[in-house]
Structure 1
Amino acid sequence: MQIQRSGEDARRRPLYGGSGVLDLEYYFRATTALPSSVMRFHLEPGTSEGEHVHLAGDAGSCSPESSDELYVVVLGEVVMTVDGESAVLRAGDALYAPAGSHHGVANESDAPAELILVFGPPTPR
């Protein structure tokens, strides 16, 4: 049985030119055989992940591989932006950002927010 306790792969850092510092934690990053990665974001009010893109071969990409991302809000409220279009998401809402889309998340509320992210290589449908 593999269990990861809260904080075992946690870090604090700014992301992609966003404002403030995000608390993030990867889950089973070094031990999973799953094709996707999972992490948790904690955003205090006024904190944001800057807009970015995951697209192989794109000079502006933040990673060498293409990745799809799924954001699930589990606490609070955030503003998600994808390719210039913004929407407010609340606990229980989710957003899918396909590889090649420019996307980011911001906590513009006055309360903390938490999200679970699942990301990995695009797969044919």
Structure 2
Amino acid sequence: MPDLSVGTYCIPAGGVDTQSPHTEDEIYVVTSGRARIVTPDGEAEVGPGAVIFVPTGEEHRFVDITEDLTLLVVFGPAYGSRATSHA
């Protein structure tokens, strides 16, 4: 099982983030665009250079996307590697 996976996630300006909580920890790096991220602990403005950590299972959503948002996303362990395990 790979320890990490990496990809990009893009949401156009005015778009809707429909993702659900993941079974892996995530790190987002905003490469372009502007929005807010909302989590159970609060919300924050994000823009180029922002680094965001989201722990396994945490609800999170990008909202108020005012400029096309492009994110580099790193999953640990690899995305989907825990999806089939049932505790």
Are the counterparts in 1 of residues 27 and 73 from structure 2 also a CA contact under 8 Å?
yes
- Secondary structure of the residue aligned to 1:49 is coil
Residues 97 and 120 from structure 1, CA distance in 2 versus in 1: closer, same or farther, beyond 3 angstroms?
A: same
- TM-score computed with the length of structure 2 as normaliser: 0.74
Whole-angstrom distance in 1 between the partners of 2:64 and 2:32? 11
- TM-score computed with the length of structure 1 as normaliser: 0.54
Whole-angstrom distance in 2 between the partners of 1:38 and 1:106? 22
Higher alpha-carbon Rg: 1
> Which structure is higher in RCO with an 8 Å CA cutoff and minimum separation 6?
2
Who is 1:52 aligned against?
A: 20
Deviation of 1:108 after TM superposition, in Å, equals: 2.3
- Percentage of identical aligned residues: 26
Say whether 1:68 aligns with 2:25.
yes
Give the gaps of 5 or more residues in structure 1.
Answer: 1-32, 55-65
CA RMSD of aligned residues (A): 1.9
Match for residue 117 of structure 1 among 46, 61, 73: 73
- Greater share of strand residues, 1 or 2? 2
